[in-house]
Structure 1
């Protein structure tokens, strides 16, 4: 059902806005609108220009609470005052920042050590004392790398002619790392040769002890030690925040409330009158909440509330808030997917809940699989509150019911008797059509009933919105309902062998509604006493009307036949389970129970998904399209009701 909304204006002394918001409005759901936009007829309105004093502290409190591993389980300490909360957040920020600065210094140290590691890593195979090598006086050395193809050339042609020694380090596909040693007198010549071979020097600083491999390992140990220091700082920060967890959670909650309340100013307006400064708030509130709110503030001489009953006094349509019984609440998801109802539409949630569950059960009738859907969906909905799980549970109830009607349990049709029929083999003979599967006939008949119900709902919606043409002359209005009901009545009389109405009666039953639907626009204009000229000529109007009428008749037929899928899936479900049992060897009397279980689980999941989609398609295209627009917008309160405050 749609909750009735009322538009209210709230005003009072400017300095009292925080008290009113915190004491009253935070305990109710109200969708605030911009007072400057809505109250255009009020003069001298100005916006609030103030900075939120809680925002920075709230951001820090949210950050610290986010670091807590079990913040949702922490009981907040409600003994803190507002000043205590600011001081708590400030002190925690200083302590946390101090630890973070130490961490950043240690991280930079690690980066420096890793850079040194990366520099020395390619020379680990070189066996020498780096400190001694880097201080040689009578031997010239060069560390670096040479391209692999030039290194092979150097070895083959030049090393015999050079008075130098090359000590190889690590190598990859592209380069060979290492160092060459040469006498100082030959250094210039050897350097020139190596430069011609594109040798790239790598400068090493005299800050390493022992061999390159040992120096590399030493650097790694130092990095590990610093990482332990960082972990210790993280542990200290975690302990510091954990010790203050109840206070931080309380501060976060309260600062969030105060920040949200202060931000109400973004939608409020100021007005100066007789040297007095007032605030004005306006918005939508549920009618029941309006009564409670006005009763609560009746003795508060600083709060003035005006409930607007005249829709011309505000702009925009009322927002939509749905409130249905718990059993049907999950089906609000399907309604929201299509579009929320406007304030002058009926809420189709209950209709969807009943028809969706019923049709799903008819298409997926099996006692065992229905119970699986019921139990699985109910458990998930209980713990996770997922709407789809609630829908699955409801569908499972009707699947179980139809399972008893069809005599099917986990695909076995010889365990329990069918209370109605077995879909796969029960046939009915009809005049002109011959033998047809019974569930097909029942499915089409049920579809006819649902289409007529949808037309009735269309008429109700049209009357609520005061749309005369849509209510009486539309293909889904009274004229369409009479025509379609007449067709259904004639089909039923013919199929049951009863005499049909006389030709004159049939001509009236079919002809009058068609003529009314064809000329619905001029008839509506005449009733509403509007004198509008035709956009096209009379001939074009009749041609256009003819094709529209043809499309309408075609839609009646296609929408009706579309419901045959209910019977088709009921039959296919039984046929698929028959195949599953055959593959599992059930016909031989010695079934493979693993195969039976796996087959049932597969059918329950895969076919259940397909059936769910097909039923939703029937809801949207064959029923919703006839009576429902879904043009409403959601009710969006600036804050949710606080149960704790409500109890105070």
Structure 2
């Protein structure tokens, strides 16, 4: 079912919005709408664009307060001013320690960058610092891709006055240093550049080989890490002296900061002295009533409830609330489209019909129990809605398994309480012999189509849609037309040809004409002038083809339900094949491994196919008659701590 919504306008003094949001709105679900958009007809309103005053102090506090800081102590006298004072005093006491930490962090970053640059050249067993004393030789540290290095080594290297010292290589690059006479540096550098040689700058303040320099840097990095750990301990010790107070102050300002963000939805009045905020939004009816009751004695908060949705610019959001048994089937409804607020929630209809049709198409006691237990297990462990749907379908699979007398494909273990899908036949006039489950499936489909039409009529009447209720293909006219076709077919097939003919000739014409001329008839009932695009002639031609399409759709929709019986028969046939392969035909003893594997295959494959086919029947044959799914979800505002 769709939860009934109320549209609220909340107002109060400008500076009280944070208290109101934290004290009241944090307890309730409300989808806020932008007040300026909703209150277009109200004059002298402006946006609430003030900057959040708590962001900076909370950002600074996050640098020295632990992320999981928490206290169970209560500070009922905490105010914004007191919380800011507590945090600023703590920050002042920690300024020197924070500066030291920032200095250490900068040194550590520089040390790590030096390590990263020198690490690939540890294979160079030469004093890096001594390279600075070269006067007639130039050198370059860097890397080149393996592809270009191979070409360079094979075709170019021997023709240049250069020495390339390879230090290390990985999957992509070769790292090394090349030497070149100073007089030829420009020419050779250009050749290396054409080979996409990437220059890497090596710090020159270290003595010894690259390996020794890397080792020294590693020691420095460890020393810096140790110093930062000690500094963090000192900061924690300072914080620990006022831990509860700091935690309460930070939590209080975080809550106020979260409440402040609600201002982007608010509008302000333009008075100079008494400025008020206005918030608008949708709230579930029961919560709206509780909210109104709670603020009865609050002299600074006022609420107005708008009961007439026609005076509201935004459309009501949709929040579904169904019994726990039906709730997993909301997944299928949302896949098609969430119901609009003025529609009917089809979740219960889907839950009952989907599980029932699935069971009729896949009736087997053993496999049904597997689906039931497997679905319940996965739902308990993983909370998967699809698992709950499978479990529900398994209940009806088990039920129809008893009706068909099928147990893991064995047809002689249980006695059929109703019929055997493959064997049951009946004789119909004109048609002759026909499988009973096919006939029952078509009759059941007719019943579901008529039910969908009734749901359409209910929704149309609820929305005061005259044309949809009376003259639509799925309205009263369509219901009467299709209902008498169903009655005629049942009478004819049961041997009562004369009354069936009378109904077909005398009764069906009127509702068919009502559907054909629904636009002018609706205009007549609403006392309006009919608007016929293209004139009367074009309207009649268009109506003719529309009626042909309507009749065709009635026929095809009804015939689609034959698949219920077809799958019931095919399941029995598939399991018969499994029994033949296992050697169990005619009461013989066969291979149980083949039985197990065959049942697993049929259960998985046919279960998937039947599940999709039932969903197709729901969407195309039933939903299309009464359901649009054009709603948008209810998204309550959440106050997030920063």
Fold match by TM threshold 0.5: yes
- Verify: 1:26 aligned to 2:26, yes or no: yes
Q: Given the superposition, is the C-alpha separation of residues 60 and 453 from structure 1 closer, same or farther in structure 2, using an over 3 Å criterion?
A: farther
Q: Given the superposition, is the C-alpha separation of residues 103 and 262 from structure 1 closer, same or farther in structure 2, using an over 3 Å criterion?
A: same
Structure 1 equivalent of residue 51 of structure 2: 51
Q: Given the superposition, is the C-alpha separation of residues 246 and 535 from structure 1 closer, same or farther in structure 2, using an over 3 Å criterion?
A: farther
Instruction: State the Cα deviation string for residues 623-648 of structure 1 (Å, max 9, x = none).
Output: 1110112222222221389xxxxxxx
Helix, strand or coil at the partner of 2:414: coil
Q: Are 2:268 and 2:276, in contact at CA under 8 Å, matched by a contact in 1?
A: yes
Structure 1 equivalent of residue 154 of structure 2: 149
Q: Are 1:148 and 1:174, in contact at CA under 8 Å, matched by a contact in 2?
A: no
Shift of 1:461: 0.7
Q: Are 1:64 and 1:248, in contact at CA under 8 Å, matched by a contact in 2?
A: no
Structure 2 equivalent of residue 630 of structure 1: 629
> What is the distance in 1 between the residues matched to 2:638 and 2:604?
39
> What is the distance in 2 between the residues matched to 1:598 and 1:21?
60
Helix, strand or coil at the partner of 1:500: helix
Helix, strand or coil at the partner of 2:508: helix
Alignment of 1:67-82 (within 5 A): 77=72, 79=74
Structure 2 equivalent of residue 184 of structure 1: none
Q: Are 2:138 and 2:182, in contact at CA under 8 Å, matched by a contact in 1?
A: no
- Verify: 1:507 aligned to 2:505, yes or no: yes
- Verify: 1:457 aligned to 2:435, yes or no: no
Helix, strand or coil at the partner of 1:290: helix
Structure 2 equivalent of residue 109 of structure 1: 111
> What is the distance in 1 between the residues matched to 2:256 and 2:168?
64
> What is the distance in 2 between the residues matched to 1:429 and 1:248?
86
Q: Given the superposition, is the C-alpha separation of residues 533 and 108 from structure 1 closer, same or farther in structure 2, using an over 3 Å criterion?
A: same
> What is the distance in 2 between the residues matched to 1:105 and 1:363?
72
Structure 2 equivalent of residue 530 of structure 1: 528
Structure 2: runs of 5 or more not aligned: 142-148
Shift of 1:254: 6.0
> What is the distance in 2 between the residues matched to 1:5 and 1:340?
16
Structure 1 equivalent of residue 316 of structure 2: 318
Q: Given the superposition, is the C-alpha separation of residues 338 and 175 from structure 1 closer, same or farther in structure 2, using an over 3 Å criterion?
A: closer
Q: Are 1:518 and 1:549, in contact at CA under 8 Å, matched by a contact in 2?
A: yes
Q: Are 2:567 and 2:610, in contact at CA under 8 Å, matched by a contact in 1?
A: yes
Helix, strand or coil at the partner of 1:618: helix
TM-score (norm 2): 0.80
Helix, strand or coil at the partner of 1:315: coil
Shift of 1:600: 3.7
Cα root mean square deviation, aligned: 4.6
Q: Are 1:141 and 1:179, in contact at CA under 8 Å, matched by a contact in 2?
A: no
Shift of 1:327: 1.1
> What is the distance in 2 between the residues matched to 1:27 and 1:136?
74
Structure 1: runs of 5 or more not aligned: 182-186, 642-648
Structure 1 equivalent of residue 288 of structure 2: 290
> What is the distance in 2 between the residues matched to 1:485 and 1:179?
93
Shift of 1:501: 1.2
Q: Are 2:11 and 2:277, in contact at CA under 8 Å, matched by a contact in 1?
A: yes
Matched residue count: 610
Structure 2 equivalent of residue 619 of structure 1: 618
Alignment of 1:178-217 (within 5 A): 215=209, 217=211
Structure 2 equivalent of residue 639 of structure 1: 638
Instruction: State the Cα deviation string for residues 382-438 of structure 1 (Å, max 9, x = none).
Output: 344333232222222222222222233333434333322333443333332233333
- Verify: 1:371 aligned to 2:373, yes or no: no
Shift of 1:462: 0.7
Shift of 1:273: 5.5
Structure 1 equivalent of residue 589 of structure 2: 589
> What is the distance in 2 between the residues matched to 1:62 and 1:417?
73
Instruction: State the Cα deviation string for residues 499-524 of structure 1 (Å, max 9, x = none).
Output: 33164442122211111111111111
Q: Given the superposition, is the C-alpha separation of residues 46 and 430 from structure 1 closer, same or farther in structure 2, using an over 3 Å criterion?
A: same
Q: Are 2:87 and 2:250, in contact at CA under 8 Å, matched by a contact in 1?
A: no
Q: Are 1:130 and 1:208, in contact at CA under 8 Å, matched by a contact in 2?
A: no
Shift of 1:204: 8.9
Q: Are 1:455 and 1:476, in contact at CA under 8 Å, matched by a contact in 2?
A: yes
Q: Structure 1 residues 350-359 or 84-93, which shifts more?
A: 84-93
- Verify: 1:411 aligned to 2:409, yes or no: yes
> What is the distance in 1 between the residues matched to 2:559 and 2:343?
28
Structure 1 equivalent of residue 603 of structure 2: 604
Q: Are 1:61 and 1:251, in contact at CA under 8 Å, matched by a contact in 2?
A: no
Helix, strand or coil at the partner of 1:636: coil
Structure 2 equivalent of residue 552 of structure 1: 550
Q: Structure 1 residues 344-353 or 397-406, which shifts more?
A: 397-406
Instruction: State the Cα deviation string for residues 25-73 of structure 1 (Å, max 9, x = none).
Output: 22122222222222233322222221223445667899999x97xx8xx
Q: Are 2:168 and 2:175, in contact at CA under 8 Å, matched by a contact in 1?
A: yes
Alignment of 1:84-95 (within 5 A): none
Shift of 1:442: 1.8
Q: Structure 1 residues 45-54 or 172-181, which shifts more?
A: 172-181
Instruction: State the Cα deviation string for residues 344-401 of structure 1 (Å, max 9, x = none).
Output: 2221111111111111222222333333333333333334433323222222222222
> What is the distance in 2 between the residues matched to 1:577 and 1:524?
55
Structure 2 equivalent of residue 477 of structure 1: 475
Q: Structure 1 residues 8-17 or 104-113, which shifts more?
A: 104-113
Structure 2 equivalent of residue 4 of structure 1: 4
> What is the distance in 2 between the residues matched to 1:234 and 1:610?
62
> What is the distance in 2 between the residues matched to 1:534 and 1:248?
74
Helix, strand or coil at the partner of 1:345: coil
Helix, strand or coil at the partner of 2:499: coil
Q: Given the superposition, is the C-alpha separation of residues 422 and 234 from structure 1 closer, same or farther in structure 2, using an over 3 Å criterion?
A: farther
> What is the distance in 1 between the residues matched to 2:583 and 2:530?
74
> What is the distance in 2 between the residues matched to 1:38 and 1:311?
12
Structure 2 equivalent of residue 644 of structure 1: none
Instruction: State the Cα deviation string for residues 52-96 of structure 1 (Å, max 9, x = none).
Output: 23445667899999x97xx8xx98746465779776798699889
Q: 1:437 aligns with which of 435, 438, 462?
A: 435
Q: Structure 1 residues 306-315 or 539-548, which shifts more?
A: 306-315
Q: Are 2:519 and 2:530, in contact at CA under 8 Å, matched by a contact in 1?
A: no
> What is the distance in 1 between the residues matched to 2:482 and 2:506?
13
- Verify: 1:35 aligned to 2:48, yes or no: no
> What is the distance in 1 between the residues matched to 2:278 and 2:182?
88
Structure 1 equivalent of residue 331 of structure 2: 333
Helix, strand or coil at the partner of 1:302: coil
